[in-house]
Structure 1
Amino acid sequence: MTPAFADALDHRFQDPGLLARALTHRSHVKGRKGGLESNERLEFVGDRVLGLLIAEWLVERFPEEREGGLGRRLARLVDRDTLAAVARAIGLGAALAIPPSEEAAGVRERDSVLADACEALIGALYLDGGLEAARRFVRRHWAGLLERMAEAPRDPKTALQEWAQARGLPLPAYRTVATEGPSHRPRFTVAVSLGDSAAEAQGTTKREAEKRAAARLLAQLEARR
């Protein structure tokens, strides 16, 4: 663990094993104890803790905003892209325990792996130091992201639909291109088309993949203006 990464945590672990587990990708313990020594269980905890802490912060930061706006802000701040961006900013990928075979496949830099590890890290901080330790980490590394949200983000599918309607175009069409992975951790690839333009994206649910594809297509369309 580099000094920079240790500083990013702002916490001295009473149980170093929790941190070690948070940094252990499931491929590193494949076939051992059913994978229970990986970071998946901590990811489960961290997901809930992050949601709570961000919700708490949003209610404090935006006292006049209604539930819908708060919900859209929350969804953006806890999504995979945000988690992966935070993970990269603190050098989390370099600290992960990953076997050489997976290293060669580029697993260490995958958004999904980084996002899961970031959630696991938050779970470890919570279990070791309580909500305050997790809160310090979240408020430190999400502060810039939250402050840049002058307005609550719109749902990408809604935004794309409104873009099409404003120009008299037919509604966007979504199509599931592929479904991969085990049943407990599927990956969906969805394509969206609007007129002669199209985009694809992946997600752990069809809805997530559709939203990512819509956001990607909308960005392409607006870039042409």
Structure 2
Amino acid sequence: MQAASTNTVFEPILSFFRLRLGNSERKKFRRSVEHIIGEAPSNIGLYQLAFRHTSASKETAIKGFKESNERLEYLGDAVLGMVIAEFLFKKFPYKDEGFLTEIRSRIVNRETLNIIARKIGLENLIEYDGSRNRGIVPSRTSMYGDALEALVGAIYLDKGFRFTRGFILKELLGHYDLEALISNNANYKSRLIEWAQREGKKVEFIIISERGNNHFREFISQVTVNDEPFAQGSGYSKKKAEQSAAEKACEQLQMKPVSN
């Protein structure tokens, strides 16, 4: 899919974002994007949209329609997942589907994407409404990883698949230590459940509280062993909170790291 045939669909939305940037701001923003992706952007409005967090969404030229980077995030997530899947499929020709799925999951998990997004400088470009976060530090949310996926979506629409694939493989995967990623079994929940089965114990995960709002919600999970509280953890999704609690439990049990 090429930019020329795609951008016309977004013109009513993108024209709104182009109007919001003054000439000097527009040039500075363009230079920042060019530095990140390695080539001058053709449609700057796509990238402006990619960095608009949902908390800062405003009505566009389309009456009653509020736009943020969520749609581009959806697209970028699909493109990123497909490129990583192809990369792993070719790199590990004798590994089964379970291995490939697990490693892809580790590569695209939200915490890792948050870190990479900040490394490449996205934190200075994201537009968000800090007054809506109710005291939760933005750097601890999924905002940066979401913006990175939205950026991938924007690049795909602006530059096409071949360029986007190169950006992912060269600029993003370069921040990973693939060998360490493979050797480190970070699925603490699975490890804890396996331990419980060996020891004949019952392990349960319970979400005991939530805090924040729709944009910045944090979950607190508790691990119980034989119905007794054992460890707690937090995260910005229920799954991540459970993993955090499981990690704390593994630490208390002094479990050694597991290699694949």
Structure-1-length-normalised TM-score? 0.81
- CA change 1:213–1:20 in 2 (3 A) is same
* 1:72 alignment partner in structure 2: 102
* 1:18 alignment partner in structure 2: 46
> How many positions carry a matched residue from both structures?
221
Question: Contact conserved, 1:26 with 1:35, CA < 8 A, in 2?
Answer: no
Superposed CA offset, 1:140-177 (max 9, x none): 222324343343746332111223455x3623221121
What one-letter code is carried by the residue in structure 2 that aligns with 1:21?
L
- CA change 1:10–1:163 in 2 (3 A) is farther
Q: Does 1:97 align with 2:127?
A: yes
- CA change 1:164–1:4 in 2 (3 A) is farther
* 2:190 alignment partner in structure 1: 158
Structure 2 CA distance, aligned partners of 1:50 and 1:219? Answer: 33
Structure 2 CA distance, aligned partners of 1:129 and 1:117? Answer: 18
1:141-180 correspondence to structure 2 within 5 Å? 141-143=172-174, 144-151=176-183, 153=185, 155-165=187-197, 168=199, 170-179=201-210
Structure 1 CA distance, aligned partners of 2:34 and 2:73? Answer: 19
Question: Contact conserved, 1:11 with 1:133, CA < 8 A, in 2?
Answer: no
Structure 1 CA distance, aligned partners of 2:187 and 2:129? Answer: 38
Segments of 5+ residues of structure 1 without an aligned counterpart are none
- CA change 1:3–1:192 in 2 (3 A) is farther
- CA change 1:136–1:105 in 2 (3 A) is farther
Superposed CA offset, 1:63-99 (max 9, x none): 1111111111111111111110111111211111124
Question: Contact conserved, 1:5 with 1:90, CA < 8 A, in 2?
Answer: no
Structure 2 CA distance, aligned partners of 1:8 and 1:95? Answer: 11
1:50-89 correspondence to structure 2 within 5 Å? 50-89=80-119
Structure 1 CA distance, aligned partners of 2:256 and 2:85? Answer: 36
Q: Out of 92-101 and 104-113, give the one that drifted further.
A: 104-113
* 2:234 alignment partner in structure 1: 201
Q: Out of 173-182 and 130-139, give the one that drifted further.
A: 173-182
Segments of 5+ residues of structure 2 without an aligned counterpart are 1-28
SS at match of 2:101: helix
Root mean square deviation of aligned Cα: 3.2
- CA change 1:219–1:117 in 2 (3 A) is farther
Identical aligned residues as a percent: 33
Structure 1 CA distance, aligned partners of 2:159 and 2:36? Answer: 15
